Chains A and B, each alone.
Chain A
Amino acid sequence: MDLNLQEVNATEFPVPVELENNIAITSLSQLYNWGRRNSMWPMLFGLACCAIEMIATASSRFDFSRFGFEVMRATPRQADLMIVSGTVTKKMVVPIVRLYNQMPEPKYVLAMGACASGGGPFKEGYNVVSGMDKYLPVDVYVPGCPPTPQALLYGMIALQRKIDGQSIANGDDVPWYGEGPAEPTPVPVLGPDIIDPRQMDMIRRQAESAASEMDLLGQRELPALTQLVAAKVETAQAAVAEAGPVDEDALSVVLPTGGTPWAEAEDIREKRRLRALARKALRATRRTAQTEGE
């Protein structure tokens, strides 16, 4: 986002003639974002093949310093952006979460390449985490295996555009502008397999139900599970066949609130759309108020 001097000087505040074009007046959010987006320091942090392309992006041919990603810092305490450049393994995700927790806020995560976005070609591997977003909030995904430097640059510019849209005033947009200190992400535990502490309850529930149902767990025999699923599908199909031609209304699920799930989802979507529109309108009025201020 470029600051247009003509525009920002068009203000209701009286600017002395001799200082015209020397003073810019804008909103605090915009100024703050303008500073932030143009000084995003990535962490010097390479995981796998993508790291080589990340280095190529940093070096002379592509040179991301031109866009404000000035210099890579080896310590997380001086970095604003974590580029997850490569396959995230279960063994490595523990240090990655620790590094993320050490970064000062506001902080961003860019998942570079297929592996960091969703496991990529190694997804089926027993030591591979299928995507960084299983543990950390990811802001931008850059596809490719590995992404070309051009693609990475595009992803980084997309991140800058995302920052432009954020506001200090809005705690919903950005967690660290909300009230109270931000919670650190819990560090995963390396037990018999990796365990996400946030999902302890879920794991316990699943383990219990599966164990009670047919002693599935621990056999590591997923075919048994697929058989179970297949059996359930079969009985369901049989029931449908028995019931004869399907009446669509009969199939609909009624929630305690009285609506159907999809109606409710649509409702939520509509509300969200209206809210977004309202916010957009508010911004537009503010902007016109600013320009009309003269």
Chain B
Amino acid sequence: MENLAAAEQSVERLSIDDSIEYLKANHSQAIKLDDRDGYEGVIVDSDMLVDIARVIRDELGFDYLSSATAVDYLGEGDHMEMVYHAYRSSGGGALVFKAQTDREAAEIPSLVSVWRGADFQEREAWDLYGIRFPGHPNLTRILMWEGFEGHPMRKDWREAYYEEEQKPFDSRWPGGHVHRAEEKNVFGKNVSYPPDIDLNRLMDTSEEAVYQSLGLGVDIERIMDKDGFETNELVVNMGPHHPSTHGVFRMLLTVDGETVTSLEPVMGYLHRNHEKIGERNTYLHNIPFTDRLDYISSMGNNHGYVLAVEQLMSLGRKYNPPTYRCEALRVMMVELSRIVNHLWAIGFWLNDIGAFFTPVLYFIQERERILDFFEAVAGSRMMCNYMRFGGLFGDLPERIKSVSNLTNDRVRDYNTMQFLTEMINERIPRTIDELEVLLTQNEILIERSMGVGILSAEDALNFSAAGPLLRGSGVAYDIRRADPYSIYPELDFDVAVEEEGDMYARYRVRVTELRESVRILKQILPRLESTQGESIWADGKPGAYAPRVPHGESYGRVENGKGELGYYIVSAGGRGGSSNPWRYHVRAPSFINLTPLGHMSKGHKVADIVGILGSIDIVLGETDR
């Protein structure tokens, strides 16, 4: 018995390669190595997928499904593929496994029974790729509306403003003439209709379908309450225009009195087709688009994307890793973004639970100064577009312009390093202290948030929660430590973790992370001083405008303010590589963190729902992409 337990434990600690060997040894009939050039992991037989997934989760210990996404290999093998990245919550790299299916009748068994975190991701794959998932409890469209024609991410589906497969378009470069997309469209608008459209009998079924997924219909349902009185269960619609949904997010609640009995998130109101546009763009084109995903912390988004592409580029021959100064600058920018993000998240969460706007105003003070710094360095306050493959847009300027006080102050001229030192050593810690004094022991805050919106550690892992939502549930999983990148291994900081799993725990995690970020920044400052004058580019000059990226796949992930931000990129060029990604997928923490929202909200009052949503901290640019 003990031997068996020991053996199981050792299996749980197998390295990635050994895990694949283990799978091959035990399930040889269902497993095939993925030997395509630049690919990793295994290809699992579709019929056996659920069983193999259970083996991967239970026997091998890969208990965290980070990303599940589809790829359309039209012309590159003519099949559809689901790609899964599973991790161990104790840390380490990914076990990548894939399932392939025919393009025409695409069907892959659902993994919701193994990882509930696959729920929304499979719905997304159905919506955008048209892959059916037998066994999925609610396989409806998630980003587009029910009734939309076609599955837009398929390679042979073309948008109304289609011009060419890949940029740069011939019409713009090198010849170059200006035209408007409307001129080439029959309807003069961004629309296209099927030939059999019947305008006389036009039905908007999108709403109906949304309500049907609740299992209630639109009508009120009569139920008996516990005292035997007949009462009504109501459907309440919150959003997409609602001040507490942090953008154009929508929740459908069924309530019994004030108590929520079920909650269904409805999204896609800001689905602006990052991925389709990203596959037309060149690699470099995509960097400014990543800014607009999580628009509170654009630097972090840049970092994840740049890492993913650098991983691919490192497969090629001509690749130099970024210099030390470049890495230090990247980490500094990302940590400053994290501070902005957490201040913003805490502030807006307080908005939601009743402290309307006053705390935010205090937090925005520090945010504005950090934004001044970003503006001086990158040229834009919010959309920094700062990182490049193998380098950065530019080094720190000598002097920057900012204010010391937001109201009634003139613009002052600062030495950049002095400005940073003052901000990191004095101003930000002071803001955090102030925040803690006023809030952490605040009785109203504790009353409102303790014990509300509880997510247990097992559930958090199973739902693929990430970031403060996961760490607030007692899982010490921070990618900066679990699967380190950049210069994080040499930096001294702790992973913030709280056991309770409620709203208050998430707040505490954020506050601790603010302090840890300051701790990291304090270590970065001397590194910047000592590397003064070093180039930010590997070979001393900026990288190519249109780099050719070698054939293969990569998954670059970073710990962003809201959680694990991953980019799955496939380069499907010939031998020389490609200048446009074949697949560009964003594993958005805000999107996947919403999966447990319904589970967490059940049994709470309507007023707590907005607080629970605020404590997850979503941003819609990333949720809907």
Q: Which residues of A contact B (CB under 8 A)?
A: 44-49, 51-53, 56, 59-61, 74, 86-87, 89, 91-92, 95, 99, 115, 119, 121-130, 134, 145-146, 148, 189-196, 200, 202-204, 206-207, 210-211, 215-223, 225-226, 229
Is B471 at the interface (CB under 8 A from chain A)?
A: no
Write out, one digit per residue, whether chain B residues 377-389 have a CB within 8 A of any chain A CB (1) or not (0): 0000111000000
In whole angstroms, what is the CA distance A196 to B189 when docked? 10
Known pairs A61-B407, A206-B187, A222-B185 / 11 extra A-B pairs, C-beta < 8 Å: A48-B295, A53-B381, A87-B272, A89-B270, A125-B272, A190-B147, A190-B206, A191-B203, A192-B148, A216-B186, A218-B196
Determine, out of B13-21, B153-161, B211-219, B608-616, the stretch whose residues face the partner at the interface: B153-161
Write out, one digit per residue, whether chain B residues 119-162 have a CB within 8 A of any chain A CB (1) or not (0): 00000000000000000000000011101111010000111111
Determine, out of B359-367, B573-581, B583-591, the stretch whose residues face the partner at the interface: B359-367
Do A122 and B193 touch across chains, with their CB atoms under 8 A apart? Answer: no
In whole angstroms, what is the CA distance A215 to B150 when docked? 19
In whole angstroms, what is the CA distance A145 to B382 when docked? 9
Q: State how many angstroms separate the Cβ of B149 from the closest Cβ of chain A.
A: 4
Contacts of B157 in A (CB 8 A): 220
Say whether, besides A44-B243, A91-B268, A220-B158, A191 and B368 are in contact (CB < 8 Å): no
B292 nearest CB neighbor, chain A only: A49
Do A89 and B272 touch across chains, with their CB atoms under 8 A apart? Answer: yes
Do A220 and B288 touch across chains, with their CB atoms under 8 A apart? Answer: no
Do B277 and A122 touch across chains, with their CB atoms under 8 A apart? Answer: yes
Query: Which positions 451-492 of chain B face chain A at CB distance < 8 Å?
Result: none
Q: State how many angstroms separate the Cβ of B268 from the closest Cβ of chain A.
A: 5
B247 nearest CB neighbor, chain A only: A46
Q: Is the interface of B mostly helix, strand, loop or mixed?
A: loop
In whole angstroms, what is the CA distance A145 to B380 when docked? 9
Is B74 at the interface (CB under 8 A from chain A)?
A: no
Contacts of A200 in B (CB 8 A): 199
Say whether, besides A87-B272, A121-B292, A222-B185, A191 and B197 are in contact (CB < 8 Å): yes
In whole angstroms, what is the CA distance A59 to B148 when docked? 40
Is B7 at the interface (CB under 8 A from chain A)?
A: no
Contacts of A127 in B (CB 8 A): 143-144, 152, 268, 271-273
A211 nearest CB neighbor, chain B only: B195
A-B contact count (CB 8 A): 189
Contacts of A125 in B (CB 8 A): 159, 272-273, 276-277
Is B391 at the interface (CB under 8 A from chain A)?
A: no
Do B184 and A130 touch across chains, with their CB atoms under 8 A apart? Answer: no
Do A189 and B204 touch across chains, with their CB atoms under 8 A apart? Answer: yes
In whole angstroms, what is the CA distance A191 to B194 when docked? 10
Q: State how many angstroms separate the Cβ of A207 from the closest Cβ of chain B.
A: 6
Contacts of A119 in B (CB 8 A): 190
Q: Which residues of B contact A (CB under 8 A)?
A: 143-145, 147-150, 152, 157-163, 181-182, 184-187, 189-197, 199, 202-204, 206, 240-243, 247-248, 268-273, 276-277, 280, 288-289, 292, 295-296, 360-361, 364-365, 368, 381-383, 406-407, 620-621
Contacts of A52 in B (CB 8 A): 295-296, 382
Do B243 and A87 touch across chains, with their CB atoms under 8 A apart? Answer: no
B149 nearest CB neighbor, chain A only: A192
In whole angstroms, what is the CA distance A134 to B185 when docked? 15
In whole angstroms, what is the CA distance A59 to B360 when docked? 9
Do A49 and B272 touch across chains, with their CB atoms under 8 A apart? Answer: no
In whole angstroms, what is the CA distance A56 to B158 when docked? 38
Do B292 and A59 touch across chains, with their CB atoms under 8 A apart? Answer: no
In whole angstroms, what is the CA distance A195 to B149 when docked? 13
Task: Tell me which of B189, B193, B242, B406 contacts A130 (CB under 8 A).
Answer: B189
Determine which residue in A47, A61, A200, A215 has the highest number of CB atoms from chain B within 10 A of its CB, and name it. A61
Do A148 and B243 touch across chains, with their CB atoms under 8 A apart? Answer: no
A194 nearest CB neighbor, chain B only: B191
Do B158 and A207 touch across chains, with their CB atoms under 8 A apart? Answer: no
Do A124 and B277 touch across chains, with their CB atoms under 8 A apart? Answer: yes
In whole angstroms, what is the CA distance A127 to B141 when docked? 14
Do A206 and B186 touch across chains, with their CB atoms under 8 A apart? Answer: yes
Contacts of A226 in B (CB 8 A): 184
In whole angstroms, what is the CA distance A27 to B296 when docked? 47
In whole angstroms, what is the CA distance A190 to B160 when docked? 16
Do A49 and B204 touch across chains, with their CB atoms under 8 A apart? Answer: no
The 4 A-B residue pairs with the shortest CB-CB distance, nearest first, are: A218-B195, A125-B273, A192-B149, A49-B295
Do A191 and B364 touch across chains, with their CB atoms under 8 A apart? Answer: no
Contacts of B364 in A (CB 8 A): 56, 59-61
Say whether, besides A124-B159, A189-B202, A53 and B382 are in contact (CB < 8 Å): yes
Say whether, besides A190-B206, A222-B162, A124 and B272 are in contact (CB < 8 Å): no
Task: Tell me which of B271, B277, B361 contacts A91 (CB under 8 A).
Answer: B271
Can you pick out 29 interface pairs between chain A and chain B where the beta carbons lie within 8 Å of each other?
A49-B295, A52-B296, A53-B381, A74-B243, A87-B272, A92-B248, A119-B190, A121-B277, A124-B181, A124-B273, A125-B159, A125-B277, A127-B152, A127-B268, A127-B271, A127-B273, A189-B204, A192-B148, A193-B192, A193-B193, A200-B199, A206-B187, A207-B193, A207-B199, A211-B195, A216-B186, A220-B158, A222-B184, A222-B192
Determine which residue in A47, A49, A216 has the highest number of CB atoms from chain B within 10 A of its CB, and name it. A49
Contacts of A89 in B (CB 8 A): 268-272
In whole angstroms, what is the CA distance A289 to B381 when docked? 51
In whole angstroms, what is the CA distance A202 to B193 when docked? 13
Q: State how many angstroms separate the Cβ of B477 from the closest Cβ of chain A.
A: 28
In whole angstroms, what is the CA distance A129 to B182 when docked? 12
Say whether, besides A95-B240, A146-B383, A207-B197, A51 and B186 are in contact (CB < 8 Å): no
Say whether, besides A48-B620, A52-B295, A204 and B192 are in contact (CB < 8 Å): no
Contacts of B383 in A (CB 8 A): 49, 145-146
Contacts of B381 in A (CB 8 A): 53, 148
Contacts of A146 in B (CB 8 A): 382-383
Contacts of B292 in A (CB 8 A): 48-49, 121
Say whether, besides A203-B193, A220-B158, A122 and B148 are in contact (CB < 8 Å): no
Say whether, besides A122-B277, A126-B160, A47 and B247 are in contact (CB < 8 Å): yes
Do B270 and A47 touch across chains, with their CB atoms under 8 A apart? Answer: yes
Task: Tell me which of B159, B189, B194 contacts A218 (CB under 8 A).
Answer: B194
Contacts of B160 in A (CB 8 A): 126, 193, 222
Task: Tell me which of B159, B181, B270, B280 contacts A48 (CB under 8 A).
Answer: B270
In whole angstroms, what is the CA distance A121 to B621 when docked? 14
Say whether, besides A200-B199, A210-B186, A60 and B407 are in contact (CB < 8 Å): yes
Q: State how many angstroms separate the Cβ of B132 from the closest Cβ of chain A.
A: 20
Say whether, besides A46-B247, A122-B277, A124-B277, A193 and B406 are in contact (CB < 8 Å): no
B196 nearest CB neighbor, chain A only: A218
Do A95 and B289 touch across chains, with their CB atoms under 8 A apart? Answer: no
A122 nearest CB neighbor, chain B only: B272
In whole angstroms, what is the CA distance A92 to B381 when docked? 27
B267 nearest CB neighbor, chain A only: A91
Determine which residue in A121, A124, A128 has the highest number of CB atoms from chain B within 10 A of its CB, and name it. A124
Contacts of B243 in A (CB 8 A): 44, 74
In whole angstroms, what is the CA distance A126 to B273 when docked? 7
In whole angstroms, what is the CA distance A121 to B287 when docked? 12
Q: State how many angstroms separate the Cβ of A277 from the closest Cβ of chain B.
A: 33
In whole angstroms, what is the CA distance A222 to B234 when docked? 46
Task: Tell me which of A48, A56, A221 contacts B621 (CB under 8 A).
Answer: A48
Q: State how many angstroms separate the Cβ of B250 from the closest Cβ of chain A.
A: 9
Do B202 and A195 touch across chains, with their CB atoms under 8 A apart? Answer: yes
Q: State how many angstroms separate the Cβ of A169 from the closest Cβ of chain B.
A: 35
Do A203 and B187 touch across chains, with their CB atoms under 8 A apart? Answer: yes
In whole angstroms, what is the CA distance A53 to B273 when docked? 22
Contacts of A203 in B (CB 8 A): 187, 193, 199
